[in-house]
Amino acid sequence: MKRLRSITLLVALAAAAQAGAAVAAQPLPLPAGWSHAQVNVVGPNGSPHTFIYDRGRVVAVTSSSLTLHEPDGSIVTIQVAPAAVVRVNGRLANLAAVQPGFKVQTLGVDGRPARRVQAVAAPVVARSNVARLRAVRRR
């Protein structure tokens, strides 16, 4: 059943990729546990393209790259295009707004730097909750 779900998702990714611009504007989420995928498509003008998805937790940020700790345990550095569309918690932002600890999904095309970055900020734990958690752990 799990394998059928994965195959179904790959078919859906490929079908959505045929739309080209739609996928580039809104990268599809990868299935749970997946950290990397490459989808080969034929663009509207007949030329082939490869959409490259990566997902992980940010461990470092520079002005032009993100280093991710992916769910499979690998550490990868993703180059990010200067004109990339970056969203943090669904809002337009710049790469400097992405911080270590954020969960990120990137989309690159044909081996070039990522042109889409979707980041979700790590949840903030209130100070009072931190104290409660420490008290519970001591018991």
What are the pLDDT digits (tens) for 19-78? 444 444 455 677 877 889 999 989 888 999 999 999 999 999 999 999 999 988 999 999
| H or E element at residue 30 | none
* Radius of gyration over every alpha carbon of the chain, rounded to an integer in angstroms: 17
Q: In DSSP terms, which residues pair with 54 in a beta bridge?
A: 36, 106
Q: Is the pLDDT of residue 5 over 90?
A: no
Higher pLDDT residue, 11 or 104?
104
Q: Which two tokens stand for residue 129?
A: 């909750």
3-state secondary structure 50-114: EEEEEEEEEEEECCCEEEEECCCCCEEEEEEEEEEEEEECCEEECHHHCCCCCEEEEEEECCCCE
What are the pLDDT digits (tens) for 97-117? 999 999 999 999 999 999 999
37 exposed, middle or buried (CB, 10 Å; 0-12, 13-18, 19+)?
Answer: middle
96 and 80 in contact (C-beta within 8 Å)? Answer: no
